[in-house]
Amino acid sequence: VEAARALGLRTVVHADSWAGVVDVARAGASAVTHLPPAPVPDAAVEAMRAHGTVAIPALAGELGLSDLTTRPWRDAPLLAAVASPSAVAGYTAPLGPELQAIAERQREERAGRLAAVRELHRVGVPVLAGTDAGVLGTVQGFSLHHELALLVEAGLTPREALAAATTEAGAFLGQRVGLRVGDRADLVVLAASPLDDVRRTQDVEFVVSNGRVVDREALLGPLSAELLTAPLVDDFASETLASTL
């Protein structure tokens, strides 16, 4: 945390207990993710408020398996649009004992996780949207919509949940997100307002990325053999560290 601060970088720390949350907040972490499914102690509230620590509960990651194995999330049209049929089928088939145990644990923890987010929001601790995408029960391009609905279920208004994924998240990262001149031209245009029902974020008309309308059909089409064998550059964008699939 100290090294990141010296470099002007944000830090996001995983914590699996409220004692851990208190420790990392006092250490100066910018955000804590994966909040414990237990009542929020006063010490955690005091530490997070005193040090400006943000909460990123990643509810979609924590509750994704239990939700995607039941309706209505499993039957969402957007899920079918962005995930392969085999991936969706994986959530409709009977789960093995290990996965069934995980799903059951998520169901048992659901009320506690939502209550923790509700309490932090009530006392003024900033809550941002995050999904932990890539873990079991999350789907790239879909789980953020799931997260928004879970944040509203936890007590945020639809407007607050949307801000948690856009303007407030941008402010946390030092980026201007919005509709003002000079803001990043990254927009999702919807068929209806999500302010009455946040699940309407799934009714996507089109997407603008970096000022250009995304060709959705091309994006969702099958990958070419050329793409599948093209070199991939690592996160540091170094040509000397390229690898292939």
Between CA 170 and CA 193 the distance in angstroms is: 21
Angle between the N-to-C axes of helices 59-68 and 97-122, in degrees from 0 to 180, rounded to the nearest 10? 140
Other CB atoms within 10 A of residue 136 CB: 14
CA-based radius of gyration for the chain:
19
- Please give the single-letter amino acid code of residue 148: L
Short-list 171, 173, 58, 168, CA closest to 117? 58
Local confidence pLDDT in tens for the 245 residues of the chain: 999 989 999 999 999 899 999 999 999 999 999 999 999 999 999 999 999 999 999 999 999 999 988 878 888 999 988 888 888 888 888 888 999 999 999 999 999 999 999 999 999 999 999 998 888 889 988 999 999 999 999 999 999 999 999 999 999 999 888 888 888 888 999 999 999 999 999 999 999 998 899 998 887 776 555 544 544 444 434 444 333 33
